[in-house]
Amino acid sequence: MDYKSSGVDIDAGHEVVRRIRGLAKGTFTPGVLSDIGSFGGLFHLQAAGGTDPVLVASADGVGTKLKVAFMMNRHTTIGEDLVNHCVNDILVQGARPLFFLDYLATGTLTPDVAVDIVDGLARACRANGCALLGGETAEMPGFYANREYDLAGFIVGMVERGQVLTGERIRVGDALIGLPSSGLHTNGYSLARRIVFDTLMMGVHDHIPELGCGIGDALLRPHRSYLAPVLPLVRDGLIHGMAHITGGGLTDNVPRVLPEGTAARIDRSSWDVPALFTWLVTRGDVPDEDAWRTFNMGIGLVLVVPAQEVNHVLERLAEAGESEGRVIGEIVAGEQRVVYV
């Protein structure tokens, strides 16, 4: 017996590394000191600039959105989801990304699928000015279902110590500005899949008139990155705090940045909830409270800004191509929770 007959194809692993090396090197920034294939990735922090840098690190996955990708046999945007999610997670503390690592585990390694995934990772890394520094591809026969995989990402970014956003500057009277999501992003898929595929017994290619596309296409829309329009506002001191609206929705994520003695009052009539969410909630008969704790409901990022800077911030966002940002509420006295009106 040999390793290949046990389900692990070392040659396929080498083929994947050979094919993705160029994709990864296309993301390299001046701080990268190592090549793909090393035991560890090297990054020269001084090349990133800054006078008093603080490193910000985060790790996450794509969740059961992967199941939709398996059903669609479409793997080119999953990597984009992962990178952008991680970029947003460190952006809320004021950081810009430096480098990214990925972990791809599968039962049987299919080089074409692996390359599609890494192509999405590399595309998003380039868009965010982030180096795809390395990663791990693990072939684990008998551990995953046929043609399925898991994907996780690890990001390291940097922010000047004086610009770190902790939420401590948030005050009663500050305004909440919401930036639109592109869809479910990377959370709420266990509920969405149960509604669509288990309860309604639909297929991924079924067309939904209200959405103007197939349900699989709607569910696979990539998670947005908010780095480009928002980071300049952080550097100019215009942001008191931010919340990335992921698992838990607005209800659970906004309070994570609120200091003691404050609450967020959000006006649900201040934006039009996208059709995908209203369709899921209606067809799934989802209770209102659950909907707002599960889905982002059309708001992917919340900025907390001084009331006197609202118009200026909205103008800056529009100039950066983020023209749909809008005031969705304000900070009021309370105890670290969201109050909907």
- pLDDT tens for each residue of 95-125: 999 999 999 999 999 999 999 999 999 999 9
- CATH of region 4-163, choose from 3.40.640.10, 2.60.120.260, 3.20.20.70, 3.30.1330.10: 3.30.1330.10
Residue 81's pLDDT is 98
Going from N- to C-terminal start, the domains of the chain cover 4-163, 175-340
Which pTM was predicted?
0.94
- Where the chain has pLDDT below 70, the residues are 3, 6
**Nearest Cα to Cα of residue 67 among 216, 226, 182, 274:** 216
What is the distance between the alpha carbons of residues 336 and 262, in angstroms, rounded to a whole number?
Answer: 6
What is the distance between the alpha carbons of residues 271 and 178, in angstroms, rounded to a whole number?
Answer: 9
Residue 35's pLDDT is 85
Residue 12's pLDDT is 81
Residue 300 contacts residue 186 (beta carbons within 8 Å)? no
Alpha helices in the chain (DSSP H): 10-25, 65-72, 78-91, 111-127, 189-193, 215-219, 227-235, 249-253, 275-284, 288-294, 310-319
**Architecture of the structural domain at 175-340:** Alpha-Beta Complex (3.90)
What is the distance between the alpha carbons of residues 200 and 112, in angstroms, rounded to a whole number?
Answer: 32
**Nearest Cα to Cα of residue 154 among 116, 79, 99, 231:** 99
**Nearest Cα to Cα of residue 204 among 219, 188, 192:** 219
DSSP code, position 239: -
